[in-house]
Amino acid sequence: PKLRELVLKADPTIKSQTWNDKKITAHHGIIPTQLPVDWAALNDKEQKIYELIGRRYLAQFFPVHQFNSCSIDLDLGSELFVGKGKTVTSLGWKIVYEHQTDPDSDKTESDQILPSVKSGDILKVLKTETKNELTKPPAYFTEGTLIAAMEKIHTVVDNPEYKKYLKEGDGIGTPATRAAIISELKRKGYLETKGKKICASSDGIELLKLVPELVRNPILTAVFERKLRDVESGKSTLSSFIESQQKFILQEINKAKAINNGLQ
């Protein structure tokens, strides 16, 4: 019922980037089907999930969101200050999230309206204020931000070749498996939740100290991705990939045994 008006306004002739299936293999999006839903039979959580999926789907059939974005650079006492603002000219697909929490809202840019100025204008400083603050440590991951970090893991890798493979390979895991990876780490006791925060447990921290640097480095995922691409393209075989994996695992186990024997 909440989506009925949006359905009538949607334009099915619009094809967004969602319809680009050139890189899609076995994974599919979650979308409403043509089967009618018995709204009254859904509980509150089910209705919210259905509505969330419905809005996301309908957004594909609305025009692009347009706005004018600008910034003003101000030179004050040899320091550069920047003011940013934007003015929406066409709501476009964001009408789907009007009066809703927009999942893709740009929180980095203010919606303030800037005055009309031109280069070289002299402005009066009416007020200044100094604040003494301490730098904050990085925020804890939530399940949502951790999944996003797994997808964008290439951003923390310096090697351009490995960065490329991680980016093309969609990061660590796939959209269908990342949540399952996190759940498995929780089940094994390597991750724990504190409210909405996800933290490494004491067992998880100890494990990271024990395993070799290569094993805990995302570059290893890039190496595997490259080998799997070679299998996919026919440059290598699956059996040779499995054989190299077995050799690698045995090599790391023998290294760990040697270190452990040296400590005894």
User: What's the pLDDT tens digit per position in 161-178?
Assistant: 888 888 877 788 888 888
CB distance 176 to 27 below 8 Å: yes
d(CA 81, CA 41): 56
| Average pLDDT value for residue range 168-192 | 88
Question: Which residues make Cβ contacts (< 8 Å) with residue 87, sequence separation at least 6?
Answer: 67, 68, 113
pLDDT band at 105 (very low <50, low <70, confident <90, very high): low
10 Å CB burial of residue 178 (0-12, 13-18, 19+) is: buried
Residue-level pLDDT at 222: 81
pLDDT at 218 over 80: yes
Q: CA distances (Å), 85 to each of 52, 68, 72, 115, 173, in order? A: 29, 8, 9, 10, 37
What is the CATH class of 143-263?
A: mainly alpha
Instruction: Give long-range contacts, CB 8 A cutoff, 24+ apart: 80-88.
Output: 83/112, 83/114, 84/109, 84/110, 84/112, 84/114, 85/109, 85/110, 85/111, 85/112, 85/113, 85/114, 86/110, 86/111, 87/113
pLDDT at 102 over 60: no
Which of left, alpha, beta for 136 (phi over 0: left; psi -120 to 50: alpha)? beta
- The structure tokens 């929406």 sit at 88
Residue-level pLDDT at 210: 83
Residue-level pLDDT at 199: 93
pLDDT at 57 over 80: yes
Q: Write out the residue limits of the CATH 1.10.460.10 domain(s) in the chain.
A: 143-263
pLDDT at 109 over 60: no
